[in-house]
A and B are shown apart, each in its own frame.
Chain A
Amino acid sequence: MTGGAELHTLTGAYAAHALDGPERAEFERHLALCEACALEVREFAATLARLGAAEAETPPAELRARVMSGIGSVRQLAPPSAVVPVVPQPTGRRRRSRLVRHWPKLALAASVALAAALGGLAVDQSRRADEADARATQLQAQQAVFGSLLTAPDARTATATAGTGVGTVVWSQSRGQAGFLASGMPALPAGKTYELWFDDAGTMRPAGLLPASSGSLLLQGPLDGAVGVGVTVEPAGGSAHPSSTPVMLLPFS
């Protein structure tokens, strides 16, 4: 029952949470190494979710109030900084919203996440030691500014997706600055990069390059009268003007 071929057939039972104890642990070890099983388990989880969603039932109204007041005392986890390449499939959707209350908790989570993300960028970007040092110093400064941006009382966010990637812009009119956080952006071919732009009412102003699929960046330059932020795919090194249509648009509204 421990043979490799045997284990592959456990995907269904595992996805349905019908495996217990040592068998479950054994299969999870297998899952970490077997891409085919991992994919099948994800597909089965999505399949079973359809069976679950078909059972939808309106919960009692007071449950919502209990949950909403409950989140006030639950500390959120910081995002991991893993870079996951995905197939590019540019689309864009946006949604904006206000960041609300509970700032100290968020700021803490955010600064941990940023430390991880920016650390990742530093490693990705810098080949030579002196470059790395200079970059690290710069990133530390950026991180401090980003952290303070997140805690600005008028900080707001907007989020958009591109394929399976999600980008979030954080901005504060009082600080006159914006930051961008990306997660799982579609991987680009060699020689291409994501470039960020301030949208000055239809004119794009360069605001920096996003060097990895996941990570964060303090946008270069002041907010001024910008009405939003756009993301385009540009040749490595970036462009002075966008050479392609945006894969994401995030309006400041």
Chain B
Amino acid sequence: MVHLSGPQRRGPDLKELVAQVAFGDQDAFGRLYDAVAGPVFGLVRRVLRDPAQSEEVTQEVMLEVWRTAARYQPDRGEVMSWVLTMAHRRAVDRVRSAQATADREQRVAARSHMPAFDEVAEQVEGRLEREQVRRCLRMLTELQRQAVTLAYYRGYSYREVADMLSAPLGTVKTRMRDGLIRLRDCLGVES
């Protein structure tokens, strides 16, 4: 007979929470909300700017998490990556929607006022994660950083990014990719 001695308990495991949420566990969903709503809201707000729209999209994303929890595949990536990918997709769809057109045109017109280094660096407070992201963004070339941050934090398509940076399409798409490769390695992201 093997005597049972359980493995040690650690902090909340998001994969376990999602598995419970998939079975309709509302308590688990509440805990999952507490773990991911801040990143979701922060990212969405970064892309959309408008607080009211950002709340709406955050709510949509969280309901989508509830609805599709059973489709999350733990071997395909972390929960945070799954949730933030959904959040970003929705924020980008919203920013590119018809309602946002006017605002967008203004923003494209105002591109000469674009900061040389996207505000990510300026907003950074002491948190370790932010520090690390900031440090890794600094390791990119100017064009790589602009390509990645304009697409990700502002929700621009790579064609718009090319237009804004007056760079050829092929170059922008390559810079996005090799910028992300550098970030991936710098942040120690593993598949």
Contact mask A6-17 → B, CB, 8 Å, 1/0? 000111110111
CB contact list, B19-78 vs A, under 8 A: 19-20, 22-30, 33-34, 37-43, 45-46, 55, 58-59, 62-63, 66-71, 73-78
Tell whether, in the assembled complex, residue B63 and residue A74 are in contact, meaning their CB atoms are under 8 Å apart: yes
Residues in A with CB closer than 8 Å to B92 are 17
Nearest-CB distance from A182 to chain B (Å)? 10
- Give the size category of B's interface with A: 35 or more
CB contact list, A9-62 vs B, under 8 A: 9-13, 15-20, 39, 42-60
Residues in A with CB closer than 8 Å to B69 are 76-77
- The answer to whether the Cβ of A228 comes within 8 Å of any Cβ in the partner chain is yes
- Count CB-based A-B contacts (< 8 Å): 284
Nearest-CB distance from B152 to chain A (Å)? 5
CB contact list, A142-184 vs B, under 8 A: 157, 159-161, 164-166, 168, 170, 183-184
Main secondary structure of the interface of A (DSSP, over half): mixed
Residue of B nearest to A10 (CB): B173
Show the binding face of A for B, using Cβ within 8 Å. 9-13, 15-20, 39, 42-60, 63-64, 66-68, 70-71, 74-80, 84, 86, 91-95, 97-103, 105-106, 109-110, 113, 157, 159-161, 164-166, 168, 170, 183-184, 199, 202-204, 228, 230, 232, 241-242, 244-246, 249, 251
The 6 closest A-B pairs by CB, nearest first: A12-B177, A12-B176, A57-B42, A79-B70, A106-B24, A59-B41
Show the binding face of B for A, using Cβ within 8 Å. 1-4, 6-7, 9-10, 12-13, 15-17, 19-20, 22-30, 33-34, 37-43, 45-46, 55, 58-59, 62-63, 66-71, 73-78, 80-81, 84-85, 87-89, 92, 96, 120, 123-124, 127, 129-130, 132-134, 137, 148, 151-153, 155-159, 161, 172-174, 176-181, 183-184, 187, 189-191
